Amino acid sequence: MRADQAGETTFPAFVRACWDAGIAWYDVDTAARTCTYYGSDGDSYTEVNRSSRSPERPEPLL
């Protein structure tokens, strides 16, 4: 996930890495600047982007 956040992978590679990590789906909340990953077993993990970049040029969450 970190490689994708750094812009070092493609979207298909990101999706494959999610699948390989057991992530069944994810939800991005652009207003809250969060990304929640959900596992097939019901677990979830939420990342909060606390970047200091301006809203005009936000950092990618994923």
Bridge partners (DSSP) of residue 25 are 38
Place 2 in a pLDDT band, splitting at 50, 70 and 90. confident
Task: State residue 8's pLDDT score.
Answer: 85
Contacts of 49 (CB under 8 A, 6+ apart): 33, 34, 35, 58, 59, 61
pLDDT digits (tens, 9 = 90+) for 4-57: 777 788 989 988 988 998 999 999 999 999 999 999 898 999 999 876 555 555
Residue 61 has pLDDT above 90, yes or no: no
